Amino acid sequence: MSLVGCDLLDLLKPGMRMGKSHVDGAALPQGVDIMSPREKLGFYRWLVGEMQEQIFSRPLKDRSSSEGWANVLAQRGSIEGVYHGFVLSTEYITMEQKQKAADIKALRFFGLEMALLDFPYATESDERVQSASAKYVKDNMSTSIFTLKKELGERIIKEADKRKADSEKLAAWFSGIAVRWAKLDIPFGLKQRNDKDEVFHFNWAKENTLGMVEWELLNREHRILNQLGGIAVAAPPAPSPSPAGK
């Protein structure tokens, strides 16, 4: 699968948005207004494939399984709706039940991030954050990695929704998290996601929809916990552009 005449890496560059509502929960990539229907569907197929790989932490078995969800996004279905379709599925629930308790590295990341969401203006060294983080770790010692991923993901969606009416607040919140997580040096699937420039991430988030901002955080969160939990999947590289008409 390729994006005809469109470099996927450009989709994460700021400055190409044209007239789209920032609070829209749909998956609207950069430059959507100048993309052909074929390019748009190619993007949605790639996005759904990435979602399935990172949420379920397994290589995509069959590209046809992405087709229905890609069509949902093409019809302006929300990222949140598709995400919930995966994490509330029978397959995901079964994985939650079968997976052993998460190891301490994943638990510590989960605990710290939940605590930082509890105290959004505090630093990691703040006593309140440290206390809340320790409690999250203690309370989830027997929790599976898939449940941790889902719980942190739900919290991210909730917090993003709180800020959706103010593009600058949402962008500032997103960029702070994006830079902090980039410092972990865990590959996030596209080069720009690992950029440690907060201004870059702020500008990108300010120009994008709520849905795109949500997935960019959810993608990173799942990749980090997959890596720390020892269940990371080696996803195929992002599709390269092909000459128009090919």
The answer to whether the beta carbons of residues 56 and 92 sit under 8 Å apart is yes
Task: Tell me the torsion sign for CA atoms 48, 49, 50, 51.
Answer: positive
pLDDT of residue 6: 39
Please check whether residue 98 is in contact with residue 111, taking contact to mean a CB–CB distance below 8 angstroms.
Answer: no
Question: Distance between CA 29 and CA 12 in Å, rounded?
Answer: 8
Looking at residue 140, what is its pLDDT?
97
Structure confidence at residue 234 (pLDDT) = 64
Q: CA separation (Å) from 104 to 100, 112, 147, 181?
A: 12, 12, 14, 18
Q: What is the per-residue pLDDT for 60? A: 83
Partners of 78 in the β-ladder: 26
DSSP 156-197: HHHHHHHTTT-HHHHHHHHHHHHHHHHTT----SSGGGG---
Token pair for residue 65?
Answer: 């399984």
**Which of 129, 115, 223, 118 is CA-nearest to residue 178?**
223
Give me the pLDDT at residue 185, please. 95
For residue 81, what pLDDT is reported? 94
Instruction: Write down the residue that tokens 């954050």 correspond to.
Output: 129
Q: Give me the residues of the chain with pLDDT under 50, please.
A: 1-9, 15-21, 239-246
